[in-house]
Amino acid sequence: MKNQFDYLVVGSGIAGLTFALKAAKTGTVAIVTKKDKLETNTNYAQGGIACVLAQDDSFDLHIKDTLESGDGLCHPEVVDLVVKTGPERVRELVKLGVAFNLETGANAFDLGREGGHSRNRILHAQDMTGRAVEKVLMAAAESEPNIAIFENHLVLDLIIQHQSMRAGAVDLYQQDTCRGAYVLDIAAGQIHTFVANAVLLCTGGAGKVYLYTSNPDVATGDGLAIAYRAGAKLANLEFVQFHPTCLYHPAAKNFLISEAVRGEGARLIDKRGRAFMEKYHPLKDLAFRDIVARAIDAEMKTSGDDCVFLDITHRDRHFLMKRFPNIYEKCLSLGIDITKDPIPVVPAAHYMCGGILTNCSARTTIDNLYAIGECACTGLHGANRLASNSLLEAMVFSHAAVVECAERLESWRNRVLPEVPDYSRKIAVENSSNSEMVMIAHNWDFIRRLMWNYVGIVRTDKRLALALTHILQIKMELKEHMPNIPLSSDLVELQGLALVAELIIRCAVQRKESRGLHFNVDHPEKGGSDWLKDTVVIKSAAEEFLSLPAVQND
Residues of this chain that bind ligand SIN (CB under 6 A)? 46-47, 256, 258-260, 351, 387-388, 390
Choosing from 113, 229, 289, 459, the catalytic residue is 289
Q: Compute the least distance from the CB of residue 489 to ligand SIN, in Å.
A: 26
Q: How far apart are CA 42 and CA 527, in angstroms?
A: 35
Among 195, 237, 298, 216, smallest CA distance to 45 is for 216
CB 186 within 8 A of CB 489: yes
Instruction: Please compute, for residue 245, the number of CA atoms within 13 A of its CA located in the half-sphere on the CB side.
Output: 29
For ligand SIN, the closer CB: 18 or 388: 388
Q: Compute the least distance from the CB of residue 516 to ligand SIN, in Å.
A: 15
Complete DSSP assignment for 296-343:
HHHHHHHH--S-EEEE-TTS-HHHHHHH-HHHHHHHHHTT--TTTSPE
Angle, CA of 140, 14 and 359, to the nearest 5°: 125
For ligand SIN, the closer CB: 43 or 364: 43
Q: Which helix (H) or strand (E) covers residue 368, if one does?
A: none
Identify the three-state secondary structure at position 160: strand
For ligand SIN, the closer CB: 215 or 495: 215
Residue nearest to ligand SIN (CB): 47
Tell me how far apart the 2 most distant CA atoms of the chain are, in Å.
76
Q: Compute the least distance from the CB of residue 349 to ligand SIN, in Å.
A: 12
Q: Compute the least distance from the CB of residue 391 to ligand SIN, in Å.
A: 8
Q: Compute the least distance from the CB of residue 241 to ligand SIN, in Å.
A: 8
Residue 164: partners with Cβ closer than 8 Å, 6 or more residues away: 171, 172, 173, 174, 175
413 carries an active-site annotation: no
For ligand SIN, the closer CB: 311 or 502: 311
For ligand SIN, the closer CB: 11 or 47: 47
DSSP state of 271: T
CB 246 within 8 A of CB 254: yes
β 29-32/147-150 pair status: parallel
Q: Compute the least distance from the CB of residue 148 to ligand SIN, in Å.
A: 31
Task: Give 395's strand partners.
Answer: none
For ligand SIN, the closer CB: 129 or 365: 129
CB 512 within 8 A of CB 520: yes
Question: Would you please indicate which residues are annotated as catalytic (active-site) residues?
Answer: 289
